[in-house]
Every structure is written in C-alpha cells, then in structure tokens.
Structure 1
Amino acid sequence: MRYDAQSTQTQAQSKALSPEAHRVLRNTYMLLGMTLAFSALTAFFAVATGLRLNIFVFFIGAYGFMFLTHKLADSAWGLLSVFGFTGFMGLSLGPILSMYLGAGMGNVVVSALGMTALVFFGLSAVALVTKKDFSFLGKFLLVGGLVLIAGIIANLFMGLTNLHLALSAGFVIFASALILFQTSEIVHGGETNYIRATVGLFVAIYNLFVSLLALLGMSND
C-alpha cells in the first residue's frame, strides 16, 4: 500500500508542469490572446478600407516580421515586433474576408472561426493533459512546410482549383501538427521563450483558419 501511494505520488509529480513551463505557458496564452485581438482589429481595418496586399508584399512582410521577431525574442523589442507581425497578418486577412463577406458567405467565415477554435483548444488539451512528447513532429513540419510553400508558389502560375484544395487540406494537417508540437515544446521545456511560442501558435491558428475558410468556401460553392 505504501509503495502504491509513493508510486502514485511520483507519477503525479512527473505529469505536473514545472514552474518554468507553467510560466511560459501562462505568458504565451496571455500574449497570444492579445495578438489575436490586435490581428482581428487590423483585419477589420483592412475590410473597412478595402486594403489590398500584393502577394510579394505579403511574403516579404510575413517572413520579414517573423525573422525579426525571432531575432528580438529575447529582448523587450520582441514584444513590439510580435505585434507588428500579427498586425500585418491581420491586414493580409482583410481581402480574403472581404471576398467571402461580399459573396454573402458570412456563415462560412463564422463556421471557419468556430472550427478553428475547436481544433486549437482540442489539440492543446491533448498536449497538456496527456503530456505526450510531440517533438518527433519537428522533421515533418520542416519538410511539410517547404512542400506547402513550393505548392503555393507553383499554383500562383498554374491557378489549379484542385491543387488549391489539396494545399488547403495540407495546411490544416500542418497547422494541427504545429499546435501539438509547439504546446508539447512548452510543456517539456523545449521552448522557454513565450514570444517565440506565441509566434508558433499564431502561425498555426492563422493557417488553420485560412485553410478551413477555403475548404468550407469551396464546399459551399
């Protein structure tokens, strides 16, 4: 009986988050909530003003801000940079949302938002409750990300609907894996910087929402 009690206590302690992991997780979710709200505001601004971003401006801005944020993540400037990055990504959503709203597909936007929230909280709960190590997904994310980017560039010239559909489905899988990976990294101490963790989760949520929006929009058509 005494052995069983000690074993149970040891297992409970091994499953509990370390103080450092708890701090990073708390700060990450706080910053993620604020950046999502700021991104929503910039997206609303883009819709209201009819702002459009050239595809090359988008790639330069998105990856430029992401690189800058990672470089500044260990300083106070990282906070300013992460809001710059997420705000820019919100602006890029404006034309997409305008297209769906203008076509009378507001229900598709709401459905995509709801499904994004459901997937994010569901997968986050899996990583947090089970404490499973999803670090093995790192190589998949690296290769998968490169393949998806190559597919996007190729489809800019080909404009194939079926390829766009396949890319959207691929990004749903990629974003889901990224949520599991990033949350697991925080839980197991692989990621100790909440700014970098926020960027990872924000990118996952952004890609998940845009991809679900495309898939639901096509099915609605």
Structure 2
Amino acid sequence: MSRPDYLNSKPAESRVDSVVLEQPQNSAITADGRKVLRNTYMLLSMTLLFSAAVAGVSMAMNLPHPGFILTLVGYFGLLFAVHKTKDSAMGILSVFALTGFMGYTLGPILSMYASIPGGSGIIMNALGTTGLIFFGMSGWVLSTGKDLSGWGKTLMVGIITAFVLSLGAFFFEIPALGLAVSALFVILMSGLIAYETSNILHGGETNYIMATVSLYVSLYNLFVSLLQIFGVLGSDE
C-alpha cells in the first residue's frame, strides 16, 4: 500500500529552500564589491593620516582659516578635479590634494577649540564619537548586508537642505540655527556612511577613489559638527 503524499515529501529540501529564501540581502554582495571596499578603506586610512598631518602643521604654524567662501571654492574646485581624474593615476593625487586642503582648513578650527578651557577634551570627545559612529554604521551594514540604495534621494535632499540652512546661519549669524544644522549634519553623515558602504558592497559605486572621497567628506563633516555640538555643551557647564 502506498504511503500518503505528505509522507513521501522531502522536508530536507524544503528546509534548504526556506533558508535560501531568507537570505536575499546578502546574495547581491559581490566579490568585486568587497574588493572595492578594501581598496576604499586602504586609501581612506592614508588620506585621513595625511589630512591629520596637514592639520597638525597648520596648527603648529598658526595658519589662519581661509574663510567660509574660500573653503567652499577650494573644496568644490578640488572635488571637480577628483571627478575628472578618477579613472587615472592623477585621481590619487587629486584625492590627496583635496584631503590635504581640508586638513589645512581643519587646523585653525582645532587651534580655536584647543585654546578654550576644556578644549582638548572637546576635541577628543568629538574624535572618539566620530570613530564610534563610523565603525558602528559600517559594521551594521557589513554584518547585515543591507541594501540601502533607497536612502539616496532622502540623503541628497537632506544634505542640500542642511547646506542651505548652514549658509543662512553663517550670513545671518544665528547660533541656534547653526547648532541645529550641526545636529542635522550628524544624522545625515551617519546615514551617508551606511549608505556609501552599502553602495560599494552592492556594486552601486565601483570607483574606490570616489568612494573614498564620499566617506572622507562624511567623516570630516561629522567631526566638525560634533566639535560644534560638544563645544556648545561644554560652554554651558
């Protein structure tokens, strides 16, 4: 006598199928994506060290800050150079030129905070928090394999909005607005770190030079925003 159909079924195969279906997020991560991420992290670490060295020299020489307008001109000019040379060896030089310039602009900012009571603690707290956020957001994406491509438009709109608000805070000298913009930038840059990491892993960004610039700018803005927030909180104590 033949057995009922449910006894003739193959539960082992069903279980295997269910396991495969439960892992759609990691399936899109390619070996090329991981290679781009490794190259990005390597170049990012070198540019961060170079930028920190330039900032240190800027502090030691007590160089003046170039100002808001000149900083924007220098940043966007060098960013354009990076974009034009991203597929050649000159792209590496352009990246170091950009990150070196940003390190120079950071030196006077650090000197200002170092000169106030408790300034060294503010700098270390901002630096430590920046590191925690970077490793936390990157680690979250790396461990889960999440595809965050849907975040792109939201982050872009948020960054443009925050940039416009920062211009208003600067030209109209509104400290409260400046502090709010800093808090907004902390949220946006944290999201951008996760988004860019996911974008690399899933093949959305295949050029490690541009990926390095994106992560560097996120870290720079995150650190400067945290400096302002901790500076205000420290002054209230």
Q: TM-score range by the shorter chain?
A: over 0.9
Q: Which residue of 2 aligns with 1:89?
A: 102
- Pairwise mapping of residues 191-210 of structure 1 onto structure 2 (< 5 A)? 191-210=205-224
Q: Say yes or no: does 1:60 pair with 2:81.
A: no
User: Does residue 131 of the first structure (1) align with residue 145 of the second (2)?
Assistant: yes
Q: Specify every segment of 5 or more residues in structure 2 that has no aligned partner in the other structure, as ranges.
A: 1-11
2:25, 2:192 → 1: CA distance?
24
Q: Who is 1:24 aligned against?
A: 36
1:15-41 Cα shifts (integer Å, max 9, x gaps):
264210111010000000000000000
Q: Confirm whether residue 46 of structure 1 aligns to residue 36 of structure 2.
A: no
Larger CA Rg, structure 1 vs 2: 2
Report sequence identity in percent: 46
What residue ranges of structure 1 are gaps of 5+ in the alignment? none
- Quote how far apart the aligned CAs of 1:5 are: 3.8
Distance 1:77 1:10, change over 3 A: farther
Is 2:26 the partner of 1:15? yes
Q: 1:79 & 1:11 partners in 2: Cα distance?
A: 40
Structure 1 window deviating more from structure 2 (128-137 vs 32-41): it is 128-137
Say yes or no: does 1:167 pair with 2:167: no
Partner of 2:115: 102
The 1:13/1:172 distance shift into structure 2, 3 A limit, reads: closer
Which stretch shows the higher mean deviation, 138-147 or 119-128?
A: 138-147
1:2 Cα offset (Å): 3.9
Q: What is the number of equivalent residue pairs in this alignment?
A: 221
1:143 correspondence with 2:157: yes
CA distance in structure 1 between the partners assigned to 2:60 and 2:97 by the alignment? 20
How far off its partner does 1:98 sit?
0.3
For the pair 1:157 / 2:163, whether they are aligned, the reply is no
Please provide the CA RMSD for this pair: 1.6
2:22 and 2:211 map into 1 onto residues whose CA distance is: 27
Q: Shift of the alpha carbon at 1:50?
A: 1.1
